[in-house]
Amino acid sequence: MEQLQNLDYAALWAEYWPIILSGALKVVGALFVLIIGLRIAGWLANLVRKQISKRPGVDETLGSFFGSVVRWFATAAVFIASLQVFGVQATSFVAILGALTLAIGLSLQGALGNIASGVMIMLFRPYKLGDYIEIDGEAGTVKDINLFQTILATTDNVKIIVPNTQAIDGAIKNYSGFATRRCDITYGIDYDDDMDKAIAIIRSFVDRDDRILQDPEPFIKVVNLGDSSVDIQARLWCNTADYWPLKFDMIKQVKAEFDNQGISIPYPHRTVVQKEAS
Protein backbone atom coordinates (compact mmCIF):
# COMPACT_ATOMS: atom_id res chain seq x y z
CA MET A 1 0.00 0.00 0.00
CA GLU A 2 2.82 2.31 0.90
CA GLN A 3 4.53 1.49 -2.43
CA LEU A 4 1.40 2.46 -4.36
CA GLN A 5 1.25 5.79 -2.54
CA ASN A 6 4.85 6.49 -3.44
CA LEU A 7 4.21 5.98 -7.19
CA ASP A 8 4.64 9.12 -9.21
CA TYR A 9 1.63 8.92 -11.57
CA ALA A 10 2.67 12.09 -13.33
CA ALA A 11 6.04 10.57 -14.13
CA LEU A 12 4.44 7.34 -15.35
CA TRP A 13 1.97 9.27 -17.50
CA ALA A 14 4.77 11.35 -18.95
CA GLU A 15 6.73 8.19 -19.69
CA TYR A 16 3.96 6.12 -21.35
CA TRP A 17 1.85 8.88 -22.90
CA PRO A 18 4.03 9.16 -26.05
CA ILE A 19 3.80 5.37 -26.53
CA ILE A 20 0.02 5.37 -26.13
CA LEU A 21 -0.36 8.38 -28.37
CA SER A 22 1.87 6.85 -31.02
CA GLY A 23 -0.06 3.57 -30.95
CA ALA A 24 -3.40 5.35 -31.13
CA LEU A 25 -2.25 7.43 -34.09
CA LYS A 26 -1.06 4.30 -35.85
CA VAL A 27 -4.41 2.61 -35.32
CA VAL A 28 -6.29 5.66 -36.59
CA GLY A 29 -3.90 5.97 -39.54
CA ALA A 30 -4.26 2.27 -40.42
CA LEU A 31 -8.06 2.50 -40.28
CA PHE A 32 -7.97 5.63 -42.42
CA VAL A 33 -5.74 3.94 -45.02
CA LEU A 34 -7.94 0.83 -44.94
CA ILE A 35 -11.25 2.67 -45.39
CA ILE A 36 -10.03 5.10 -48.04
CA GLY A 37 -8.02 2.38 -49.79
CA LEU A 38 -10.98 0.01 -50.05
CA ARG A 39 -13.11 2.80 -51.49
CA ILE A 40 -10.41 3.55 -54.04
CA ALA A 41 -10.16 -0.18 -54.88
CA GLY A 42 -13.89 -0.29 -55.57
CA TRP A 43 -13.70 2.89 -57.64
CA LEU A 44 -10.80 1.53 -59.70
CA ALA A 45 -12.62 -1.77 -60.30
CA ASN A 46 -15.73 0.04 -61.54
CA LEU A 47 -13.61 2.36 -63.71
CA VAL A 48 -11.81 -0.57 -65.35
CA ARG A 49 -15.12 -2.39 -65.89
CA LYS A 50 -16.72 0.61 -67.55
CA GLN A 51 -13.73 1.54 -69.70
CA ILE A 52 -13.29 -2.01 -71.04
CA SER A 53 -17.02 -2.39 -71.71
CA LYS A 54 -17.05 0.86 -73.70
CA ARG A 55 -14.54 -0.47 -76.22
CA PRO A 56 -16.09 -1.75 -79.48
CA GLY A 57 -16.08 -5.50 -79.86
CA VAL A 58 -15.62 -6.13 -76.12
CA ASP A 59 -18.58 -7.45 -74.14
CA GLU A 60 -19.37 -6.94 -70.47
CA THR A 61 -17.83 -10.28 -69.48
CA LEU A 62 -14.24 -9.08 -69.88
CA GLY A 63 -15.01 -5.82 -68.12
CA SER A 64 -16.53 -7.65 -65.16
CA PHE A 65 -13.63 -10.10 -64.94
CA PHE A 66 -10.80 -7.56 -65.13
CA GLY A 67 -12.69 -5.29 -62.74
CA SER A 68 -12.70 -8.17 -60.27
CA VAL A 69 -8.95 -8.73 -60.78
CA VAL A 70 -8.19 -5.04 -60.17
CA ARG A 71 -10.33 -5.05 -57.02
CA TRP A 72 -8.48 -8.02 -55.52
CA PHE A 73 -5.00 -6.66 -56.27
CA ALA A 74 -5.92 -3.18 -55.04
CA THR A 75 -7.38 -4.67 -51.84
CA ALA A 76 -4.15 -6.61 -51.24
CA ALA A 77 -2.13 -3.41 -51.73
CA VAL A 78 -4.36 -1.57 -49.25
CA PHE A 79 -3.80 -4.20 -46.55
CA ILE A 80 -0.03 -4.04 -47.12
CA ALA A 81 -0.14 -0.25 -46.83
CA SER A 82 -2.16 -0.42 -43.62
CA LEU A 83 0.40 -2.80 -42.12
CA GLN A 84 3.18 -0.39 -43.06
CA VAL A 85 1.49 2.24 -40.89
CA PHE A 86 2.26 -0.02 -37.93
CA GLY A 87 5.90 -0.14 -38.96
CA VAL A 88 5.82 -3.43 -40.84
CA GLN A 89 8.05 -2.85 -43.85
CA ALA A 90 6.90 -4.09 -47.24
CA THR A 91 10.10 -6.09 -47.69
CA SER A 92 9.50 -7.86 -44.40
CA PHE A 93 5.90 -8.50 -45.33
CA VAL A 94 6.91 -9.95 -48.70
CA ALA A 95 9.46 -12.20 -46.98
CA ILE A 96 6.83 -13.45 -44.55
CA LEU A 97 4.36 -13.90 -47.39
CA GLY A 98 6.93 -15.90 -49.33
CA ALA A 99 7.50 -18.16 -46.35
CA LEU A 100 3.77 -18.75 -46.05
CA THR A 101 3.17 -19.29 -49.77
CA LEU A 102 3.46 -23.07 -49.59
CA ALA A 103 1.10 -23.37 -46.63
CA ILE A 104 -1.39 -20.96 -48.17
CA GLY A 105 -1.19 -22.76 -51.51
CA LEU A 106 -1.93 -26.11 -49.89
CA SER A 107 -4.82 -24.76 -47.83
CA LEU A 108 -6.32 -22.74 -50.68
CA GLN A 109 -6.02 -25.23 -53.51
CA GLY A 110 -9.71 -24.84 -54.30
CA ALA A 111 -9.58 -21.05 -54.38
CA LEU A 112 -6.43 -21.00 -56.52
CA GLY A 113 -8.00 -23.56 -58.83
CA ASN A 114 -11.05 -21.31 -59.19
CA ILE A 115 -8.81 -18.39 -60.13
CA ALA A 116 -7.02 -20.46 -62.77
CA SER A 117 -10.37 -21.69 -64.08
CA GLY A 118 -11.66 -18.11 -64.19
CA VAL A 119 -8.69 -17.17 -66.38
CA MET A 120 -9.43 -20.16 -68.63
CA ILE A 121 -13.05 -19.05 -68.99
CA MET A 122 -11.88 -15.60 -70.04
CA LEU A 123 -9.41 -17.02 -72.56
CA PHE A 124 -11.63 -19.62 -74.24
CA ARG A 125 -14.95 -17.81 -73.73
CA PRO A 126 -17.33 -20.80 -73.51
CA TYR A 127 -19.99 -18.36 -72.31
CA LYS A 128 -20.45 -14.68 -71.53
CA LEU A 129 -22.75 -12.39 -69.58
CA GLY A 130 -26.35 -12.77 -70.65
CA ASP A 131 -25.97 -16.29 -72.11
CA TYR A 132 -28.39 -19.00 -71.02
CA ILE A 133 -26.22 -22.00 -70.12
CA GLU A 134 -26.20 -25.30 -68.30
CA ILE A 135 -23.12 -26.14 -66.21
CA ASP A 136 -22.57 -28.68 -63.45
CA GLY A 137 -26.22 -29.71 -63.70
CA GLU A 138 -27.47 -26.14 -63.16
CA ALA A 139 -29.12 -23.97 -65.82
CA GLY A 140 -29.62 -20.23 -65.87
CA THR A 141 -28.65 -16.88 -67.33
CA VAL A 142 -25.07 -15.76 -66.65
CA LYS A 143 -25.16 -12.69 -64.40
CA ASP A 144 -21.51 -12.43 -63.34
CA ILE A 145 -18.13 -14.08 -63.88
CA ASN A 146 -15.43 -13.25 -61.34
CA LEU A 147 -12.15 -14.75 -60.15
CA PHE A 148 -13.78 -17.48 -58.10
CA GLN A 149 -17.26 -18.24 -59.38
CA THR A 150 -19.90 -17.94 -62.07
CA ILE A 151 -23.26 -16.59 -60.93
CA LEU A 152 -26.44 -17.74 -62.67
CA ALA A 153 -30.07 -16.68 -62.40
CA THR A 154 -32.64 -19.38 -63.10
CA THR A 155 -35.84 -18.73 -65.04
CA ASP A 156 -37.66 -18.18 -61.73
CA ASN A 157 -34.86 -15.80 -60.61
CA VAL A 158 -33.06 -18.06 -58.14
CA LYS A 159 -29.39 -17.16 -57.68
CA ILE A 160 -27.00 -20.07 -58.30
CA ILE A 161 -23.27 -19.81 -57.56
CA VAL A 162 -21.06 -22.29 -59.42
CA PRO A 163 -17.31 -22.45 -58.58
CA ASN A 164 -15.22 -21.84 -61.68
CA THR A 165 -13.44 -25.18 -61.34
CA GLN A 166 -16.75 -27.02 -61.66
CA ALA A 167 -17.86 -24.70 -64.45
CA ILE A 168 -14.79 -25.34 -66.63
CA ASP A 169 -14.18 -29.02 -65.82
CA GLY A 170 -17.58 -30.39 -66.84
CA ALA A 171 -19.68 -30.25 -69.98
CA ILE A 172 -21.07 -26.80 -70.80
CA LYS A 173 -24.32 -26.33 -72.70
CA ASN A 174 -24.59 -22.81 -74.08
CA TYR A 175 -28.09 -22.34 -75.46
CA SER A 176 -27.17 -18.80 -76.55
CA GLY A 177 -23.94 -19.81 -78.24
CA PHE A 178 -25.25 -19.60 -81.81
CA ALA A 179 -27.50 -17.11 -83.53
CA THR A 180 -30.02 -19.78 -84.59
CA ARG A 181 -31.53 -22.90 -83.01
CA ARG A 182 -33.69 -25.78 -84.16
CA CYS A 183 -37.06 -26.02 -82.47
CA ASP A 184 -38.35 -29.63 -82.36
CA ILE A 185 -42.05 -30.13 -81.64
CA THR A 186 -43.72 -33.55 -81.67
CA TYR A 187 -47.46 -33.96 -82.17
CA GLY A 188 -49.11 -37.29 -81.47
CA ILE A 189 -52.32 -38.09 -83.39
CA ASP A 190 -54.68 -41.03 -83.23
CA TYR A 191 -54.07 -44.05 -85.49
CA ASP A 192 -57.49 -43.50 -87.10
CA ASP A 193 -56.73 -39.86 -88.04
CA ASP A 194 -55.52 -38.64 -91.44
CA MET A 195 -51.73 -38.18 -91.24
CA ASP A 196 -51.51 -36.05 -94.39
CA LYS A 197 -54.25 -33.75 -93.12
CA ALA A 198 -52.40 -33.28 -89.81
CA ILE A 199 -49.15 -32.54 -91.62
CA ALA A 200 -50.94 -29.98 -93.83
CA ILE A 201 -52.35 -28.21 -90.74
CA ILE A 202 -48.89 -27.96 -89.20
CA ARG A 203 -47.45 -26.80 -92.54
CA SER A 204 -50.06 -24.00 -92.78
CA PHE A 205 -48.87 -22.47 -89.52
CA VAL A 206 -45.21 -22.91 -90.47
CA ASP A 207 -45.67 -21.14 -93.81
CA ARG A 208 -47.21 -18.00 -92.31
CA ASP A 209 -44.94 -17.57 -89.29
CA ASP A 210 -42.14 -15.11 -90.12
CA ARG A 211 -40.03 -16.30 -87.20
CA ILE A 212 -39.41 -19.66 -88.90
CA LEU A 213 -36.39 -19.64 -91.19
CA GLN A 214 -36.60 -21.27 -94.62
CA ASP A 215 -32.91 -22.19 -94.66
CA PRO A 216 -32.55 -24.89 -93.45
CA GLU A 217 -35.92 -25.96 -94.81
CA PRO A 218 -38.60 -26.87 -92.23
CA PHE A 219 -39.01 -30.61 -91.65
CA ILE A 220 -42.52 -32.01 -90.96
CA LYS A 221 -42.82 -35.78 -91.17
CA VAL A 222 -44.06 -38.88 -89.37
CA VAL A 223 -41.16 -40.03 -87.18
CA ASN A 224 -42.57 -42.76 -84.96
CA LEU A 225 -45.43 -45.21 -84.47
CA GLY A 226 -45.93 -45.09 -80.73
CA ASP A 227 -47.93 -47.32 -78.41
CA SER A 228 -51.01 -45.12 -78.68
CA SER A 229 -50.20 -42.44 -81.27
CA VAL A 230 -48.68 -41.65 -84.62
CA ASP A 231 -45.93 -39.11 -83.91
CA ILE A 232 -45.43 -36.22 -86.33
CA GLN A 233 -42.38 -34.05 -85.69
CA ALA A 234 -41.79 -30.50 -86.84
CA ARG A 235 -38.15 -29.42 -86.91
CA LEU A 236 -38.10 -25.66 -87.35
CA TRP A 237 -35.10 -23.33 -87.44
CA CYS A 238 -35.41 -19.89 -85.87
CA ASN A 239 -33.37 -17.15 -84.25
CA THR A 240 -32.27 -18.08 -80.74
CA ALA A 241 -34.27 -15.24 -79.19
CA ASP A 242 -37.47 -16.58 -80.84
CA TYR A 243 -37.06 -20.19 -79.71
CA TRP A 244 -39.41 -20.32 -76.70
CA PRO A 245 -42.11 -17.93 -78.01
CA LEU A 246 -42.23 -19.88 -81.27
CA LYS A 247 -42.47 -23.25 -79.53
CA PHE A 248 -45.24 -22.15 -77.18
CA ASP A 249 -47.25 -20.55 -80.01
CA MET A 250 -46.92 -23.56 -82.34
CA ILE A 251 -48.03 -26.01 -79.65
CA LYS A 252 -51.12 -23.95 -78.79
CA GLN A 253 -52.15 -23.01 -82.34
CA VAL A 254 -51.76 -26.48 -83.83
CA LYS A 255 -53.63 -28.10 -80.93
CA ALA A 256 -56.53 -25.65 -81.38
CA GLU A 257 -56.69 -26.33 -85.14
CA PHE A 258 -56.50 -30.10 -84.58
CA ASP A 259 -59.58 -29.76 -82.38
CA ASN A 260 -61.39 -27.75 -85.06
CA GLN A 261 -60.51 -30.29 -87.78
CA GLY A 262 -61.47 -33.33 -85.72
CA ILE A 263 -57.92 -34.62 -85.25
CA SER A 264 -57.44 -36.05 -81.78
CA ILE A 265 -54.33 -36.19 -79.65
CA PRO A 266 -54.63 -39.53 -77.83
CA TYR A 267 -53.49 -40.40 -74.35
CA PRO A 268 -51.93 -43.74 -73.39
CA HIS A 269 -54.55 -46.44 -72.82
CA ARG A 270 -54.70 -50.18 -72.38
CA THR A 271 -57.04 -52.79 -73.76
CA VAL A 272 -57.84 -55.54 -71.29
CA VAL A 273 -58.90 -58.89 -72.74
CA GLN A 274 -60.59 -61.25 -70.33
CA LYS A 275 -60.88 -64.89 -71.22
CA GLU A 276 -63.29 -67.20 -69.54
CA ALA A 277 -62.07 -70.59 -68.45
CA SER A 278 -63.52 -73.37 -70.54
Determine the pLDDT at residue 193: 93
- Is 114 domain-assigned? no
pLDDT winner (highest mean) among 1-10, 30-39, 256-265: 256-265
Higher pLDDT, 244 or 100: 244
Same domain, 89 and 17: yes
Determine the pLDDT at residue 166: 85
Confidence of residue 260 (pLDDT cuts 50, 70, 90): very high
Mean pLDDT of 84-92: 63
Higher pLDDT, 35 or 83: 35
- Is 190 domain-assigned? yes
Judge contact between 223 and 233, C-beta under 8 A: yes
Same domain, 99 and 137: no
- How far separated are the first and last CA of the chain, in Å rounded? 120
Asked which of 143, 158, 174 is the last residue of a domain, the reply is 174
- Is 115 domain-assigned? no
225: β partners: 230
Same domain, 34 and 94: yes
Same domain, 159 and 223: no
Determine the pLDDT at residue 256: 95
Report the CATH number at residue 224. Answer: 3.30.70.100
Q: Is the peptide bond before 216 cis (omega within 30 degrees of 0)?
A: yes
Mean pLDDT of 1-13: 55
Same domain, 100 and 147: no
Asked which of 159, 174, 189 is the last residue of a domain, the reply is 174
Domain limits for position 18:
8-107
Q: What is the pLDDT of residues 102-155, one digit of tens each?
A: 555 555 556 667 777 777 787 778 888 889 999 988 999 999 887 788 999 999
Residue 92 — φ and ψ, nearest 5°?
A: -65, -40
- Is 71 domain-assigned? yes
Report the CATH number at residue 16. Answer: 1.10.287.1260
Same domain, 15 and 36: yes
Question: How many domains, in total, are found in the chain?
Answer: 3
Lowest mean pLDDT among 132-141, 254-263, 264-273: 264-273
Report the CATH number at residue 140. Answer: 2.30.30.60
Residue 166 — φ and ψ, nearest 5°?
A: -70, -35
Same domain, 206 and 232: yes
User: Residue 151 burial (CB < 10 Å; 0-12/13-18/19+)?
Assistant: middle
Determine the pLDDT at residue 12: 59
- Is 256 domain-assigned? yes
Lowest mean pLDDT among 37-46, 81-90, 240-249: 81-90
Cβ contacts of residue 150 below 8 Å, gap of 6+?
121, 127, 135, 142, 144, 161, 162, 164, 167
Lowest mean pLDDT among 2-6, 13-17, 91-95, 200-204: 2-6
DSSP for the chain, written as a single string = -HHHHT--HHHHHHHHHHHHHHHHHHHHHHHHHHHHHHHHHHHHHHHHHHHHHHSTT--HHHHHHHHHHHHHHHHHHHHHHHHHHTT--HHHHHHHHHHHHHHHHHHTHHHHHHHHHHHHHHHH-S--TT-EEEETTEEEEEEEE-SSEEEEE-TT--EEEEEHHHHHHS-EEETTSSSEEEEEEEEEE-TTS-HHHHHHHHHHHHHT-TTB-SSSPPEEEEEEE-SS-EEEEEEEEEEGGGHHHHHHHHHHHHHHHHHHTT----------------
Cα distances (Å, whole numbers) of residue 174 to 126, 135, 155, 181, 252: 8, 9, 15, 11, 27
Confidence of residue 4 (pLDDT cuts 50, 70, 90): very low
- Is 275 domain-assigned? no
Q: State yes or no: pLDDT of 41 exceeds 70.
A: yes
Q: What is the pLDDT of residues 186-238, one digit of tens each?
A: 999 999 999 999 999 999 999 999 999 999 999 999 999 988 899 999 999 99
pTM: predicted TM-score of the whole model, two decimal places: 0.59
220 C-beta neighbours (distance < 10 Å), count: 20
Q: State yes or no: pLDDT of 22 exceeds 70.
A: no
Mean pLDDT score of the chain, rounded to an integer? 81
- Is 118 domain-assigned? no
- Is 46 domain-assigned? yes
Same domain, 149 and 64: no
What is the distance between the alpha carbons of residues 113 and 91, in angstroms, rounded to a whole number? 28
Q: State yes or no: pLDDT of 30 exceeds 60.
A: yes
For the chain, percent of residues with pLDDT exceeding 90: 38
What is the distance between the alpha carbons of residues 85 and 79, in angstroms, rounded to a whole number? 10
